[in-house]
A and B are shown apart, each in its own frame.
Chain A
Amino acid sequence: MKKIIAISLVLIAMLALPAMALETAETATGDLRFSGSSAICGLYVTASPDDEIVASMILMENNRLVARWNDTGTGTLRMNESYPATSGNRYTLIFDVEVDGVSLDLDSQMKTCP
């Protein structure tokens, strides 16, 4: 019985180690603003130096997909894109961020162009 418990603990530790090696703290900031007649879409991801970041931004204009940007980086990723906006239209910016294959949940932003 003791052997089974010991082996189980070793297996659990072995399974946990790779996960601990992969998962670290990471931050992501998403931002949507209007400058003149442009919608400025920003996504700023910071992770540990060896972390692979894969991110994309999707811009919706009145529930219609109008732009999609993809980018990758190691450690940090800064995305800053613009799209010609029309006054009165509602824009939604959706973020998709993965750090070392693990998805990072970031709330989408919705604003109406002034």
Chain B
Amino acid sequence: MNGEDSKDKKALEETMPLRSNLQLLQEIQQMLKDSSAEELDVDALEALLAELDEQAPVELDHDPEDFWKELMQKGEVPDENNIPKRPADERREVRWFEYISFPRRFFKVAACFLLVFSLCGSTVAMAHPEIVEAVVGWFREIVGTTTKYGDSGQTVATDHPAATYRPGWLPDGYEEASCHELSSGVDILYFNEEGLYISFTCSSDPASSALSVNWEHCDLISTKVGATPADLYMDRREGELNVLVWTKGNTLFCVGGMLTEEELLRIAENIVKVSVNTEKYE
């Protein structure tokens, strides 16, 4: 009989709905309230706690954050008895900076310092004459495979419009064939006996001159003439035009020819300041 009773009890327990967490907690609370320390049925308490442990975590039908957002949007005051609680076993998402021992305030202070440093740096940079010249002189714009060098709209008047530049070194065999004065610069063409040519253009007046370089199927390489950044347009095929463009101060330089990268850079690094007499070509 006892065996049958225990089977019936087990079957009954299986068919009975499980008590909810709330019911279990209420029972535990009631037990603790009603019993003194001596009277407390420790076995029963342990059984209830074990059952509580076995309970599946409470699944809310809505997210607590959504609940609060909805209330905030509606402007309603939440009912104290209906505030959804976060399930006990739900893990809070740990943000990346919480793994670092620095407090979050450290990052805020660092960001503030960075902002102040950037603003001060840009202000100091704009007061520096060379940087101002670089910014307000020529602008560079790439449209598709064409690079345009033109007026930034804040041109600084040049002090020496008659002074200009020319190459101080050229590969052997090149002779000056034509020289044309620009607004504040010069365009010189050199030829050799094989009919190959080098063009040299410089201009210190972006308000009056414009340069365009079409470099489709060429490589645009960032290089340096001394310490000055420069654009190198390299056609890898032999005998085709390669071009080097750079600005120094308020002056734009452009050297083009059937030359190697080394030759172009050598010409660029040996530019000399002179006064050019163009009358003999006119």
Using CB atoms and an 8 Å cutoff, list the residues of chain A in contact with chain B: 19-20, 23-33, 40, 42, 44, 46-49, 75-76, 78, 80, 99, 102, 104-109, 111
In the complex, what residues of A have CB within 8 A of residue B196's CB?
49
Q: Tell me which of A23, A46, A76 contacts B217 (CB under 8 A).
A: A23
Roughly how many angstroms separate A54 CA and B258 CA in the complex, as a whole number?
A: 21
A106 to chain B, nearest CB (A): 5
The answer to whether B187 touches A48, judged by C-beta atoms less than 8 angstroms apart, is: no
Q: Give the total number of A-B pairs whose CB atoms are below 8 A apart.
A: 119
A23 to chain B, nearest CB (A): 4
Nearest A-chain residue to B191, judged by Cβ: A76
Roughly how many angstroms separate A49 CA and B239 CA in the complex, as a whole number?
A: 8
The answer to whether A31 touches B203, judged by C-beta atoms less than 8 angstroms apart, is: yes
Q: A24-B237, A78-B189, A111-B208 are in contact. List 11 more A-B contacts (CB 8 A).
A: A24-B241, A25-B214, A25-B242, A25-B256, A27-B213, A29-B201, A29-B203, A29-B210, A47-B241, A102-B216, A106-B148
Roughly how many angstroms separate A34 CA and B256 CA in the complex, as a whole number?
A: 27
Which residues 153-184 of B sit at the A interface, judged by CB distance below 8 A?
A: 178, 180-183
B223 interfacial contact with A, CB 8 Å: no
Nearest A-chain residue to B258, judged by Cβ: A49
Roughly how many angstroms separate A104 CA and B148 CA in the complex, as a whole number?
A: 10
Roughly how many angstroms separate A109 CA and B211 CA in the complex, as a whole number?
A: 11
Count class of interface residues, chain B = 35 or more
Interface flags for B185-209 (1: CB within 8 Å of A; 0: not) read: 0010100000111010101010111
A14 to chain B, nearest CB (A): 16
In the complex, what residues of A have CB within 8 A of residue B233's CB?
25
Using CB atoms and an 8 Å cutoff, list the residues of chain B in contact with chain A: 143, 146, 148, 150, 178, 180-183, 187, 189, 195-197, 199, 201, 203, 205, 207-218, 233, 235, 237, 239-243, 254, 256, 258
The answer to whether B182 touches A29, judged by C-beta atoms less than 8 angstroms apart, is: yes
In the complex, what residues of B have CB within 8 A of residue A30's CB?
209-210
A107 to chain B, nearest CB (A): 4
Nearest A-chain residue to B201, judged by Cβ: A29
Roughly how many angstroms separate A108 CA and B208 CA in the complex, as a whole number?
A: 9
